[in-house]
Homo-oligomer: A and B are copies of this chain.
Amino acid sequence: MGVIETTKVRARRAPEAPVDLPIGRILPGDCVEAMRRLPDASVDLVFADPPYNLQLGGDLNRPDGSHVDAVTDHWDQFSSFKAYDDFTRAWLTEARRVLKPDGALWVIGSYHNIFRVGAILQDLGFWILNDVVWRKTNPMPNFKGTRFTNAHETLIWASMGEKSRYQFNYRAMKTLNDELQMRSDWVIPICSGAERLKENGTKAHPTQKPEALLYRVLLATTEKGDVVLDPFFGTGTTGAVAKRLGREWIGCEREEFYRGVATKRIEKELPLDESALTTMQSARAAPKVAFGAVVEAGLIPPGTQVFDKKRRWVATVRADGSLVHEKATGSIHGLGKDLQGAPSCNGWSFWHFERGGKVEPIDAARQDWLLANED
């Protein structure tokens, strides 16, 4: 009753000592400097939408803050790649330090920068879990007809390392995708209409991301109460969606103007209530039930005949929850595995029994046990 279902694939991270974090605040100044003031291993997720500005002549700054001139010829091109790489390595390094061992990173970019970002984050030890394509339903056409319509951007989702136990709300994603596994290509419209923030009639930020994108990212890879850090906060899409979904957030943003826009925006945002936040639960996240407990409770009494769906094998339930089939014995899983000669077997779905004239998987009895034993 009243338990918020979480959707964790992995076991909860070990409880951490409380740390002092600027939750719900936008830190001014350069994001590398700002992140340096945060403690080690303190945030659950970093979502970053760094400047793409290679070859665009925009404002590209070296880590020391000096400005890189717009470039066209080859030598400068190289110098600009170098500067961009240094910048990327600097903020990714800080992000890595600030992330918990089981935390994760999302970065979004286009072909101008995403290959460099991806290679550098691999070099730093991040372990790529997926690259995700944001497929835009309404991209800007290629007016000159010289290339393919640039109709997507790329996100990289990475854990801290190969062995780290990242959060993935598999069931929530499957539910969101009409009971099919969520794929690595997401069809989402660009941000426009009422969602697009305006100041004095013009768009407040040139690259405002759609809230649907952040919604999916946060729903998929965080749980309620997790701390999300966005080093390139802009107009605060990450903060707004985090607040709505009951996640904590921290932003970094250099430009005072954007900080103002974001603050106003997030103030207006209302968290969803508890019931709306409840998501579908993965079977993996459910408490484990021993088959013996189900037998002990009398839901499947000792002596019951259980069998696979095609009735190739019939086994008898013993008092301790083990099964016997001819001379073979074992747990519901182990015996199912051995009989089939399979590498593994989920006994709950493999074995069936008759109850009230109907054939049901023994998992039905487990569900009954769970219902009866709620706290």
Q: Which residues of A contact B (CB under 8 A)?
A: 9, 55, 59, 61, 65, 67, 72, 74, 77-78, 81, 110-112, 114-119, 122-123, 125, 128-133, 135, 139, 141-142, 145-152, 154, 156-157, 161-162, 168, 170, 173-174, 181-185, 220, 282, 284, 340, 342-345
Closest B residue by C-beta to A220? B148
In the complex with contacts A115-B122, A142-B181, A343-B65, A147-B129 CB distance below 8 A: yes
Task: Tell whether, in the assembled complex, residue A118 and residue B111 are in contact, meaning their CB atoms are under 8 Å apart.
Answer: yes
Known contacts A130-B148, A148-B183, A168-B147; A123 and B81 CB within 8 A of each other = yes
Nearest to A62 among chain B residues (CB) is B343
Given A65-B340, A114-B115, A119-B119, A184 contacting B130 (CB threshold 8 A): no
Which B residues are in CB contact (< 8 Å) with A282? 145
How far does the alpha carbon of A74 sit from the alpha carbon of B170 in the complex, in Å?
A: 28
Q: What are the 4 closest A-B residue pairs judged by CB atoms, nearest first?
A: A115-B118, A65-B342, A151-B183, A111-B131
Of B112, B114, B132, B148, the residue contacting A148 (CB under 8 A) is: B132
Given known contacts A116-B122, A128-B112, A130-B111, is B148 in contact with A173 (CB within 8 Å)? yes
Which one, B67, B122, B123, B146, contacts A9 given CB within 8 A? B146
User: Do B345 and A65 touch (CB < 8 A)?
Assistant: yes
Q: Of B118, B168, B181, B340, which contacts A149 at CB under 8 A?
A: B181
Q: Supply 13 A–B pairs (Cβ within 8 Å), ascending by A.
A: A59-B343, A65-B343, A65-B345, A74-B125, A77-B162, A81-B123, A111-B130, A114-B115, A130-B148, A133-B152, A145-B170, A148-B183, A152-B185
Rounded to whole Å, the gap between the CB of A137 and the closest CB of chain B is: 10
Residues of chain B with a CB closer than 8 A to A181's CB: 141-142, 145, 148-149
What residues of B have a CB within 8 angstroms of the CB of A154 in the complex?
131, 154
CA distance A117 to B119 in the complex (A): 9
Q: Which residue of B lies closest to A182 (CB)?
A: B148
Can you name the residue of chain B whose Cβ is closest to the Cβ of A123?
B81
Chain B hits for A131, CB < 8 A: 110-111, 114, 152, 154
